[in-house]
Amino acid sequence: MRIPSTSWILLSLLTAAASASKQSPPSCPALHIFGARETTAPQGFGTAQTFIDLVIQTFGSNVTSSEEIFYPAAGGREYPASVTTGIAAVIKQTATFAARCPKTVLVVHGYSQGAQIVDDAFCGGPDGESLKDSSGPLVTGLVRRNTAALILMGSPRFEVGREGNRGDATVGGFAARPKGFKCNALAGRILSFCDSPDPFCSNGTDDKTHQEYGLVYGKEALAFVISRVLI
């Protein structure tokens, strides 16, 4: 979904002054970005904060709002249940916001486990113990229509050859999608970043790689969001 022309005119005028203006966005802003954090990060945006800040700085804090996904982000034995809870949180929070602000454009950013729950909520399952009996999107039709872009970074659901893949990974993650999987409901609206040294979205051994997607690919992801959002 793209911001209507009238909103784009307003957006252009206000963005120029964004650095000087710290106004809060209206209750129903032109653009709203959801962020889902990585495993074991404390409640908040976690490493997803890097890209979320970039989006807000670009479009302007006076026309852009953000919202964290509230879920455990637990690891170890609690990981499957955490993913299940996270999927439900994405579905509920996006539906609640879209119902309240049906004309607001949405961007959804997930990092690591956060990317997994976003992918599952928008593209369906199955996903092991976390999502057993599902195919197709679980979010509402209004949410799908209003979503301009999904930005996934370090997703365990990463699979080689999927539309929207970025990075040099040649092996999928520990919860990789089946080969040939397509998310038709969000076709052309997903970017998923994974590099080969990453031990979670691929089979590498470098945790540092997993934490740096916002820094390495943030501008590329931002350019994609701009291309999807603006007329």
Report, as residue numbers or ranges, the catalytic residues: 112, 198, 210
Contact yes or no for 86/100 (Cβ under 8 A):
no
Q: Residue 79's CB: how many other CB atoms inside 10 A?
A: 21
List Cα–Cα distances, 228 to 3, 31, 141, 170, in angstroms: 9, 12, 18, 27
Contact yes or no for 78/130 (Cβ under 8 A):
no
**Rounded Cα gap, residues 191 and 187, in angstroms:** 10
131 DSSP 8-state letter? B
Helices (H), 16-138: 49-59, 79-100, 113-123
Helix then strand then coil, % of the chain, to nearest 5: 40, 15, 45
For residue 50, give the 3-state DSSP assignment: helix
Strand partners, 133: none
